Structure 1
Amino acid sequence: MARATQPMVFVDLETTGATATVDRITEIGIVEVDEDGEVHQWSTLVNPQTPIPSFIQGLTGITDSMVADAPLFESVADEVMARLHGRLFVAHNARFDYGFLKNEFKRLGLTFKAPVLCTVKLSRKLYPQHAKHSLDALIERHDLHMPARHRALADADVLRQFWQVLARDVDADVLDKAVSELTGRSSWPTHLDPALLDDLPEKHGVYRFYGDNDLPLYIGKANNLRQRILSHFSADHRLAKEMSLSQQVRRIDWIETPGEMGALLTEAQMIKRWQPIHNRRLRRSDELCTWRLVPFQHDDDEGLRPELAWARDLDWGRQDAVYGLFGSQRDALKTLRELAEDAQLCLATMGLEKVQTGRPCFGYQLKRCSGACVGEESLSAHTARLQRVLADWQVQVWPYGGPVAVKEGAAWHILDAWCYLGTARCEADVDHLLAQGRPTFDKDTYKILVSWLPKMVVEPLATQRETLS
């Protein structure tokens, strides 16, 4: 597939800047390679209808005077579309060139879509031993001919030369596999809209797979949405779970987040809300419970013993001295028994075993208890050991006086008492989130925040409101 058996087009653009939605094209270079290997070259300057920044003029050599009499993009749009149609779109940092062309066509009310292959990613995949994969690095490493660097047609032809090197030096099956994986076309389910492939962003976010209705089948988090979504389908022939998901999915959507922390929080929140059938981890469990220590007295001795407490009775995040987050009473009891037995704590003294006062517990008879049940260990000493054993299980108290803002990218995550209220981009968003009130305490959100907050800049919300406005 990846040889001369499919038509290809090697593309390079020169532009007025790096933002496809704002900046414009100043030059287009296209090298077409037909199925039989025949090569056709075409290029044109383009009037961008905006001044070219001086540093870009210095980089490319393309000046305002050179493009003053050049055609507008709308004048060459039909020819460009015809040359690109039905071909594999190959470019260096391909999302850049593809994005610019897609936006230029969009301004004219035209839709442009093509399978895209990035030669930066292709070089990284085939030559992982090398650290650099810029066009200059490829030119030097593979001894490619470059008559005019940073001119569109010359740069496009360098990519054609690079492809010739790959066709000569790389095993055909290896090259074909690499192209298939990078374009994603070979594994994309036929029942999904192929146009989605062109829209998948390479950003942090959360994605949802749907079946025949509006209930998500699966919700996932990604540091690179495009890469992660495609990975589900590239693995569908190896993993039963991925195969099943691939066969059921009919629609995909996603939400971009400012970073990984936002993706994790959004994923946990959405899974709790929608309960997708393919998500086992992070799904809602029974009501949370925990252990707290309550005082008790025997004769003249005083100590503490564990008592099971339920989420509905606690102010989670502000509750001091509670231990463990359990989805059921059974899990809480099992964990506490295991901890007690390992530390030779007395189950009877802890209230986990019923024995007559003053009589030895079962663990004492097996030499698994230090004797608090028969007075050989004081209640205060037993309590001290119990507190040491439980220390690693203590639920952290919210270390701030109220809601806080955590900056990630261009947004702020609003948090309170280990709860995620939402993400704000302006002061109005903050007011809206605070007005909704604090959501139910969630164990998975708590774990995410305990892990991430030490890495982030956390500021009391009152000091951030001006920044957010």
Structure 2
Amino acid sequence: MYSIVDIETTGNGHKGQKITEISIFVFDGTIVVNEFTSLVNPEQNIPPFITNLTGITNAMVRNAPRFFEIAKKVQEITKDTIFVAHNVNFDYNIIKDEFASLGFNFNRKKLCTVRLSRKIIPGLQSYSLGNICTNEGITINGRHRAKGDAEATTELFRRLLARDNSFIINSFLNPRSRQATLPPLLDKKEVDSLPETFGVYYFKNTAKEIIYVGKANNIKQRVISHFYDKKKKERELCMETAHISYSETGSELLALLLESSEIKNKYPKYNRSQKNNNSAIGLFSYEDQKGVVHLAFNKIKLTPNPIATFYSLTECRNFLEKLCATYTLCPKYCHLQTNVKQCFHHQLKECKGVCCGKETVTNYNIRVKEAIQSISLTGKNLVLKEKGRFENEIGFALILDGFYQGFGYLDKDLAASLKKPDEYQFYIQPQKDNRDVQKILATYLKKKQNILNNNLAAKTQKKE
């Protein structure tokens, strides 16, 4: 038994999508044996563009039942049935959310008529309900109304059942097939072909525009995890995803660096972090006439050789406050406060340092330099070698004079012949240095140092 379902909603408002109309046709594979259709009071305003699309107005739903008043009916009529819808994850997840808000778990097996149509009726230019119904000669009596769309979907599903000579529907119901959880526009073959390696993956829409970039230690597993995520952003991403491509990197470090670069270069719709290329504030150091090393900040264009860069003044100040607390630095000499005789900051304890005459300049400067060293790659020339994509190559990231140059791949024999870091610059994919990259590299180096320290400690303990 199948429940063919369609809902209309308030759209993607800041309060979340709420149901304005629901229609359910209980179908035994041959005929409709039960039906339930109702307007629903969403308890929020219906935007004008939604009214223009569906014809459902605020006045129409004002006296309609709220979802909790029809929840029992929805639960009973769909019990022991397979939930079927066009773009099933959309309808199913919104209904599931409505039940969750009432403290109940709505759980049904699912089938998607978009995915089934792509298999059973291949070659169509579009698999929207309107286009398939036009192609099949199915009349929709009330497009973008729940009953009209549910009735048309029922007829479409009946035809799919009749043409399913390869038992495709049964295979979709196999829990191991993942067909019910895949985005409706995505071919399962693209998911099956993904490698289980380090790399970067790209979600693309029907126009093959990149809408999301992600990094993974296991590309296939990470991509699939998006399809099980219940967050609104993930659902919207999956609904738009029609293609997936990838780039193997050989290591986590190079995957992180490539992901950061791709987000900044391609500005994908669903990547919210790392998009800003114009770091506004630079952190720098200088020594005053008394020999005290200051930490200060200014607009990036006025900051030569910044220790670190930030996207806002607030972000910079918050970071500097934490640095002061960690290394017991003077807020006065970190320019967190000015025109004061004694250091005090609302988030830091009273200063007992050099500005109050309680320690020597030399001792204070040691801590400042330790703080700088913890966040800066200044002056370093490093080749960070990692595994390559293939057995006979290495991957590497290059830092010259403390600035990230890019990453690349080399044959192991060629890499063995290179003696100095600057010799690697001829084999890199040049990349821009920025705050996000500096964070990635600093975290990587700290992790490597911790591993080295642990290994040395273990050897020492073993000798003893």
Scaled by the length of structure 2, the TM-score of the pair is: 0.46
Rg larger in 1 or in 2? 1
